[in-house]
Structures are given as structure tokens and as C-alpha cells.
Structure 1
Amino acid sequence: MTGWRLLLTRPSEECEALAASLAEQQVFSSSLPLLAIEPLEETPEQRSTIFDLDRYCAVVVVSKPAARLGIELLDRYWPQPPAEQHWFSVGAATGAILEDYGLPTSWPASGDDSEALLSLSAFSDALAVHDPKVLIMRGEGGREFLADRLRGQGVAVDYLELYRRCLPDYPAGTLAQRVAAERLNGLVVSSGQGLENLQRLAGDAWADLARLTLFVPSPRVAEQAVEAGAHNVVDCRGASAAALLAALRQHPAPTL
């Protein structure tokens, strides 16, 4: 496992935490954040949604930034969150933020995506009420899969969009130069948008970079990576440090 030399592409704070976990296992990493989080300005629509929080039988929080920004709204408008409300996240790290705040939160034991959440029995139980309504806290845009599936089951779904993701501004050639200078042999992305930004920043160098091992968090992103031309894709079955480390143990680093 120590032969891996990885490029980390998460938002800056998340890169720092992941790099520290990798360093504890003697895995070299280099951070080049490809997602910057920009909070959205609060709107009357946002306030109206948060004021009506008690209308929802379940609240789903899809990411760590959504958890942090959602908690800020709770602090402003709900010093005491609605009792008996069920909170869910699509991953353990996001769930831990909500739990630390005192919200009773459930998440899938394995898998950090909407598909895993839909299979969670506690989530099904929370929806087993008359006229179920679900609020999804997320970034601007994103997948419609979860909402579409819920609406197909007769569940009313609203969004509370709290931030947008954007690609930081880097000089042309930054990605390829970093990979070459630090002799990196693996790339790590945590979402489909992260993969899109990786390709965008790579530009003409993508054909060469696509030959490096690419670690992704889910079957959906793995399929997206293969379609984009990546040659060696490893599905970590989760976006956590533990999931990445498990994948590194199962896949020996390439020899130079």
C-alpha cells in the first residue's frame, strides 16, 4: 500500500483530513482541490423552507458542506429542532456532523450514495406516514435520482440548496505538471462533478492521465469514469478515508 502516490482532489479542508489519514498509513499524497464550496446567499425561499421544517417527516443531507450550512440555518431559526423528526445522510462523515450537533441521524452502513440510502430500513420506516414529505439539503444542481425515486413512491420532495461547487482557478498545465513533478500514480475523486473537473483541468493531457489508476466512490462514478476513457478504475464503495484505504490494500501500487 505504501507504494501509492495519490492526487487528492476534494475541497481544501477535506483534502487536509484525508491526507492526514493517508500519512498515518505511510501513503504519500498531494492535494489539488478541484471543488471549491461557495455558500449561496440566503433567499426568502430558503427562509420559508427552513421555517416550515416541521412539515417534513425526514430530512436528507447529502454532503458535509450541506450539513455545516444546514446547521447554521438551524441555529438561526430553530434553536430547538422539531421533535421526532428523522434525519438521514448518505455517508458516515456527513452523519457524524449532524450527530455531533445533536440531531438523531441514520445512514447506510456501506455505500455513500442515494442508492444505499434507499435500501436503508430506517429510511423506509420514516416514510411510512400519511402524506410523507422529505426535505433534501444539498448543493446547487446535482443528481435527481433520489427525488425521482421518492416521488415515484408518492413522497413529496423539496430541495434546500445551500451552496454551489466550482472549479478553482489554476494555470493551464497545473494538473499534468503536478502529476509529473511528484511522480503520482493514482488519482482520487469523490464525486461525479469532481471527475468532470479533473477532465476539464487536464485538458489535452487527459489521454495520458486517464492511464493512471483512478479511485472513485461509487459504481455510478465508476461508470462515468469508464465512459470518459479512464483505463483502470477502482470503485472504493464509499468516499471515506477508510473506504479508500481498504481499496489501496486490495490493489497493489503499479511498479515503475
Structure 2
Amino acid sequence: MTGWRLLITRPAEECAALAATLAEQGVYASSLPLLEIEPLPETAEQRALILELDRYPAVIVVSKPAARIGCELVDRYWPQPPARQVWFSVGAATGQLLQDYGFETCWPTQGDDSEALLDLPRLAEVLAVPDPRVLILRGEGGREFLAERLRGQGVSVDYLELYRRSLPDYPSGTLPRRIAEEGLNGLVVSSGQGFEHLRQLAAEDWPALARLPLFVPSPRVAELARAAGAENVVDCRGASAVALLAALRATPAAAF
């Protein structure tokens, strides 16, 4: 894996942690955060949902920022988490944050996406009650897949949107210049929005950058990238460092 020199694009704090993990495995990583997390101002609607948190037998948290901000919000209004409530996360890193806070938490051990979460027997068990309700903690304007599937099963779903994601302000040409100066031979995105921001920052240089291997977290993002012209997409089947490292081991590095 030592032949890989990657551009990683997660929010700044997560980039630093991923870069350190990759370095331990002999992989060079250059951090260029493409997702800036901005907590949303607390609203009356947010407050009402949190104050009625105990109405939901299941709470689903879709990201680490949602976990961090959500835990802070719960801590403000609940001296102790509601009893007999299970929190679910898409990935282990988000789940560990929730577990450390003190919630009963469950996440898929096989797969690292919404589809794997929906297949959890524990989720079906928790929702096997009259009038099942789920609260989803997420960013502004997130994916609708989870809610659509759950509503199709007769579950009432509410959203608690906690933050927005924006593209940091970089000078024109930052992306191709970074790749050229550091001899990078692979790109990594952790979400569909991260990929859209990559394309946006690449601008007129995207056709050239689209030839680089692009590591993505799911079939959905892989499809999005291929439709946009990415020529060498590697689906890591998860957004974790473990999933990325497994994909790197299975993919020979090449000079570009």
C-alpha cells in the first residue's frame, strides 16, 4: 500500500484522524477538507423534538457531526437519557461516540451504509411496537432513503436537522495544484455531497482529475461518480478507515 499518495477530503478533524491512521500503514495522505460543518441555531422545533425524545423507541444518527451535536443537545435537556430507547448508527465510529455518551447503541458490523442498518434484526425488534416512531438526527437536506424505507414499513419518522455542510472557500486551482505538487495518485470522498464538492472545486479541471482512482464509501456514491465521468471508481463499501485500507490493499497503486 505504500505506493498510494491520497487526497482525503473529510471535515478537518476527521481528516487529521484518517491521515494519522493511514500514515501508520505507510500511506501518504494530503488533507483538503471539502465539508465544513456549521451547527444550525437551536430552534423551537428542535427543542420540542428533544423535549419529547422519549416518544421514540429508536433514534438513528447518520454521521459523527450529528452524534456530537445531538449529544450536546440531549445533555442540555435530559439529565439522563430516556429509558428503554435504542440509538442506531450507520457506522462504528458514530456508534462509539453515542455509546461513550451512555446510550444503548447498535450498528451494523457487516456493511457501513443505510442499507446495512435497515437489515439489523435489533432495529426490527425495537420497532415491533404499536405506533412505532423513529427520530433521525442528520444534517440539513440529507438523504431520504432511510425515512422512505421506514415509512413504507408503517413507521412514523421525524427529522432533527442539526448542521449544514458547506464547501470551504479555496482559491481557484487549489485542487489540481495540490495533486501536482504532492504527486497524489488517488482521491477519497466520504459521501455524495463530498463528491459534489470535489467536482465543484475541480471546475474545468475535472475531466483530467476524473482519470485518477476515486475511492468512495458506497454503491450509491460510486454510481454518482461514474455518471459524472469518473473513470476509475473503487467502492470501499464503507466510510471507515478500515474499509478504505481494505480497498487500498486490493487495489494496486499506479503512477499518474
TMscore range, shorter length: over 0.9
How many residues are matched? 256
- Which sections of structure 2, spanning at least 5 residues, go unmatched? none
Are the aligned partners of 1:211 and 1:231 in contact in 2 as well (CA < 8 Å)?
yes
What amino acid is the match of 1:17?
A
Aligned-pair CA distance for 1:110: 2.2
Alignment correspondent of 2:249? 249
What amino acid is the match of 1:254?
A
- Which sections of structure 1, spanning at least 5 residues, go unmatched? none
What amino acid is the match of 2:89?
S
Alignment correspondent of 1:31? 31
Are the aligned partners of 1:111 and 1:218 in contact in 2 as well (CA < 8 Å)?
no
- Matching of residues 24-173 of structure 1 within 5 Å: 24-173=24-173
Are the aligned partners of 1:113 and 1:218 in contact in 2 as well (CA < 8 Å)?
yes
% identity of equivalent residues = 73
* Pairwise CA RMSD: 0.7
Distance of 2:79 and 2:202 partners within structure 1: 45
Alignment TM-score, normalising by the size of structure 1: 0.99
Q: Deviations over 1:51-72 (max 9, x none)?
A: 0000001000000000000000
Alignment correspondent of 2:228? 228
Q: Displaced runs of 4+ in structure 1, greater than 6 A?
A: none
Distance of 2:236 and 2:64 partners within structure 1: 19
Q: Does 1:211 align with 2:179?
A: no
What amino acid is the match of 1:178?
R
Q: Deviations over 1:162-198 (max 9, x none)?
A: 0000000000000010001111000000000000000
Are the aligned partners of 2:185 and 2:255 in contact in 1 as well (CA < 8 Å)?
no
Distance of 1:139 and 1:41 partners within structure 2: 13
Alignment TM-score, normalising by the size of structure 2: 0.99
Distance of 2:20 and 2:96 partners within structure 1: 18
Alignment correspondent of 1:6? 6
